Structure 1
Amino acid sequence: MNVIIIGAGGHGQVVADILQAVVKSGRSSIRPIGYLDDQPAIPPSARLGLPVLGPVARLSHYDHQGVIVAIGHNATRSRLIQQLCEQGEQLISAIHPTAIVGGEVIIEAGTVVCAGAIINPGSHIGRGVILNTGCTVDHHNRIGAYVHIAPGVHLGGDVTVGEGTLVGIGATVMPQSQVGVWSIVGAGAVVTTPVADRCTVVGVPARPI
């Protein structure tokens, strides 16, 4: 299966590395063939051995059977995924071979699970989520679409994180906590009480700003 990566920045190269690791492990026949990126500052040079093929509008010019949107900004990733789905594109996920995925875990299409991430049993991971390096998602979590769980985050059991939310590097969300949609949990924060929709919280314990 030929796959095109949307986004040639840092996260795009992380995704390329995951896909290449999956191929080397023999777990999948997915073959990343290159990146598409609308940023004019991105030169048409190889990154991790894959070419930058041009802007996203050229997607139909290349033989492919799947796409993955590798853009860290949640709102941009959401918009592009919805656009590509409307065009009939097949979203694929990228799960690093060193990630640990427990039983009865559901991972929806377009999600990236980075090296060292852990998802414990019964959790549901929505469409287009990023579970970044070394994060832990404990049992029976509900992670909404387009969420970014940053490196080193720890989510306790029975946590709910709403659509589009960013949980920053090294943050901790205590068990049974609820975090609203399109919110931001600052780096290193400790969430002990519910976080409202479209709210930014920081500190220990986390408080709105």
Structure 2
Amino acid sequence: MSDEAARPLPLVILGAGGHAKVLVSVARALHLDIQGVCDPQLHRSGQSQWRGLPVLGDDVALSLIAPASILLVNGIGQTVGGVARRKLYEQFSGQGYRFATLVHPSAWVDPDVVLGEGVQVMAGAIVQADSHIGCNTIINTRAAIDHDCSVGQHAHIAPGATLCGGVTVADRCFVGSGATIIQGIEIGEDAVVGAGAVVVRHLPANQRVLGSKGRIANVPDSHQEGSE
């Protein structure tokens, strides 16, 4: 195989909020080529540079770039109940674009772990043997995923959260900062584990567990969208 064929494709970052800033740092730590950033707000403001990167335009600018020539990086962060990140992934996946799977050099991911397309594993995170992480999921800074865990698609394991062995977290779940889920627990689709919560029993779909005492409540139908 030639050096050119083996070279990773250049990246295009989608979004320019706080989460995107962290992903630029991850890509640079991996010595990857970043072609530029697409962000509607930067485009409207007329900015030509962001964090030393060219502003390529809004999302429409991607139509000028062949899908096979780049990998996208989903720079939209995941908020509780937010759908912007998932919709962006589904929109461009449907157009034939692929999303980069990024693992910070300081993270530990066991060789037997399966990472889906577009997974982002941040600095200091740990993902242990025989775990499976679904597409477009964030394993954030210093989160710990122990052996035989399964995390679904479009989920967010926030900074400092811990999943003990054999935990199942379904699609579109949000596990807050510093939360702990003990071994063997199942978290249903669209459920929310609040920051600092300790989960010692199964959490049904569309439910929220709050605080160290594990109070369970329904997840509201809609949430305020964040910009990151």
Amino acid in structure 1 at the alignment position of 2:49:
A
The residue aligned with 1:59 is: 62
Could you list the runs of 5+ residues in structure 1 that have no partner in the other structure? 24-29
Identify which range, 151-160 or 83-92, moves more after superposition: 83-92
Residue identity over aligned pairs, in percent, reads 36
Residues 56 and 166 of structure 1: CA distance in aligned 2, closer, same or farther (over 3 Å): same
What's the secondary structure of 1:77's corresponding residue? helix
**TM-score normalised by length of structure 2:** 0.84
In structure 2, how many angstroms separate the alpha carbons of the residues matched to 1:59 and 1:41? 13
Corresponding residue for residue 96 of structure 2: 88
The code of the aligned residue for 2:22 comes to V
Within a 5 Å distance, the mapping from 1:21-40 to structure 2 comes to 21-23=29-31, 30-39=32-41
Structure 1 range deviating more: 13-22 or 32-41? 32-41
Inter-partner Cα distance in structure 2 for 1:165 and 1:75: 11
Cα deviation, residue 7, structure 1:
1.1
Contact in 2 for aligned 1:75/1:164 (Cα 8 Å):
no
Q: How many Å separate the matches in 2 of 1:144 and 1:39?
A: 30
The residue type equivalent to 2:58 in the other structure is P
Q: Is the 8 A contact 1:137 1:155 kept in 2?
A: yes
SS in 2 for 1:85: helix
Q: Is the 8 A contact 1:8 1:52 kept in 2?
A: no
Within the candidate set 152, 176, 188, 2:196 is matched to 188
RMSD after superposition: 1.7
Cα deviations across residues 157-187 of structure 1 (Å, max 9, x unaligned)? 0000011111011100111011111111111
1:45 shift after superposition: 5.0
The question of whether the paired residues in 1 share the 8 Å contact of 2:43 and 2:55 is answered with no
| Residue identity matched to 1:35 | V
Q: Point out the more displaced range, 89-98 or 54-63.
A: 54-63
How far off its partner does 1:62 sit?
Answer: 4.0
Q: Alpha carbons of 1:102 and 1:42: their partners in 2 closer, same or farther (altered >3 Å)?
A: farther
Task: Please say which structure displays the higher CA radius of gyration.
Answer: 2
CA distance in 2, matches of 1:51, 1:13: 14
Unaligned runs of 5+ in 2: 1-8, 218-228
1:49 to 52, 65, 68: 52
Asked if 1 retains the 8 angstrom alpha-carbon contact of 2:43 and 2:57, the reply is no
Is 1:75 paired with 2:78?
no
SS in 2 for 1:103: coil
- CA 1:177–1:94: 2 relative to 1, 3 Å: same
**Partner of residue 27, structure 1:** none
Which residue of 171, 177, 183 maps to 1:169?
Answer: 177
